[in-house]
């Protein structure tokens, strides 16, 4: 059986940031990722050299010191969210009104290369040999010298088992409680706290439409729009730093339980974009759509009702480590500060890596 200092479950920003800190201390680390890709809820399909953010899109330098420091460390370039011009408001009846824009406060910034550049930049520095994709964790078993981690599916024999002195759960607590068998059983109050912890973005769906010109800007619009009718509830300009390609992006306003398949949703999204921004919006270069509620390794059945207001996130049950400090919680939902955001992912990564290093 393979023996490792630390196993990290999840290759999103929090998990990769944890790995980077531990590798810098010459710890032996393995990151187990259920998906066939890194990034978790950071998902950025590429159109030529532009990367469309279908997960987190912004950071706020004035209040996000961890993300800002990482951007500088990796040598990445950021640019302000485009917000010049008027906004649109669509009523339930489909009437479109022009309203004053609603600039974000504090100002929001995007990253050239998309938010996935944070994860890619860290991975370049630590090496891809630490990451094992297509490795869903099905069981974590406590033993006298740490934990044993089984990879596979609960209804099948495990594909492999690894042993480590420490395990870091760098995934949403609700997803961990729902998909991983813990032996011995976790205390019932902790399990309930994990199941009650909302997973940010898990009930949402996002779109990104790319264009070779921004007709809305020539109309004096910022690209920002809000709708009571849908299918989109919130829209923003998602253009690149150098303008081309131009983009519109935002969130579906329809609850997950009522959303249709991707093809049906895409048709409805284009129809609404034409209603709001005119006929030029009908023919995007690319239209991307991501329904996070359908993602096996993001959402559970408890996430079908979206959190429209940002929840307060804390370590589940107030605990950051259990099992005599061998099993540790990371992931943005456990941060306590900026939970659900990229900043929270990095805050929790710093805390978990420090706990392992003690």
pLDDT computed for residue 244 by the predictor = 86
pLDDT computed for residue 225 by the predictor = 98
What confidence category does residue 316 fall into, taking pLDDT thresholds of 50, 70 and 90?
Answer: very high
What confidence category does residue 155 fall into, taking pLDDT thresholds of 50, 70 and 90?
Answer: confident
164: in domain: yes
Domain count for the chain, please give it: 1
288: in domain: no
Please, which residues have CB within 8 angstroms of residue 155's CB and are 6 or more apart in sequence? none
Average pLDDT, the chain: 95
7: in domain: yes
**142 is in which domain, residue-wise?**
1-42+115-199+311-358
Is there a contact between 252 and 289 (Cβ–Cβ < 8 Å)? no
Going by C-alpha positions, the residue among 182, 195, 176 that lies closest to residue 297 is 176
Q: Is the model's pTM score more than 0.75?
A: yes
270: in domain: no
**Cα→Cα distances 245→47, 52, 135, 212, 235, Å:** 9, 10, 36, 5, 17
pLDDT computed for residue 157 by the predictor = 87
297: in domain: no
CATH code of the domain in which 195 resides? 3.50.50.60
8: in domain: yes
Give the tens place of pLDDT for each residue, 160-207: 999 999 999 999 999 999 999 999 999 999 999 999 999 999 999 999
171: in domain: yes
302: in domain: no
Give the tens place of pLDDT for each residue, 301-312: 998 875 556 677
């Amino acid at each position: 059986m393979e023996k490792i200092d630390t196993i990290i479950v999840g290759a999103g920003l929090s998990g990769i940031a944890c790995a980077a800190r531990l590798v810098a201390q010459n710890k032996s680390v393995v990151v187990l990722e259920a998906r066939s890709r890194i990034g978790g809820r950071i998902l950025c399909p590429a159109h030529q050299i532009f990367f469309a953010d279908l997960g987190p899109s912004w950071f706020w330098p004035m209040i996000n010191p961890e993300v800002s420091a990482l951007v500088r460390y990796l040598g990445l370039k950021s640019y302000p969210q485009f917000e010049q011009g008027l906004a649109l408001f669509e009523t339930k009846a489909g009437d479109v009104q022009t309203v004053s824009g609603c600039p974000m406060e504090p100002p929001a910034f995007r990253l050239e290369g998309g938010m996935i550049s944070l994860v890619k930049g860290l991975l370049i520095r630590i090496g891809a040999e630490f990451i094992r994709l297509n490795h869903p964790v099905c069981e974590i078993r406590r033993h006298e010298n740490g934990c044993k981690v089984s990879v596979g599916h609960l209804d099948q024999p495990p594909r492999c088992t690894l042993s480590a002195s420490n395990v870091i759960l760098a995934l949403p607590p609700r997803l961990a409680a729902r998909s991983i068998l813990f032996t011995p059983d976790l205390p019932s109050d902790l399990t309930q706290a994990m199941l009650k912890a909302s997973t940010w973005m898990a009930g949402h769906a996002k779109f990104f439409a790319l264009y070779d010109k921004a007709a809305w800007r020539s109309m004096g619009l910022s690209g920002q729009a809000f709708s009571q009718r849908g299918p989109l509830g919130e829209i923003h300009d998602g253009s690149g730093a150098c303008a081309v390609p131009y983009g519109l992006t935002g969130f579906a306003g329809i609850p997950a339980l009522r959303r249709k398949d991707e093809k049906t949703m895409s048709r409805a999204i284009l129809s609404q974009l034409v209603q709001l921004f005119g006929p030029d919006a009908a023919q995007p270069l690319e239209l991307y759509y991501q329904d996070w509620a359908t993602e096996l390794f993001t959402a559970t059945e408890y996430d079908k009702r979206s959190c429209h207001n940002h929840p307060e996130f804390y370590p589940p049950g107030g605990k950051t480590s259990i099992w005599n400090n061998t099993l540790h919680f990371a992931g943005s939902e456990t941060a306590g500060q900026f939970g659900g955001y990229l900043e929270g992912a990095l805050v929790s990564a710093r805390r978990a890596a420090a706990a392992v290093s003690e």
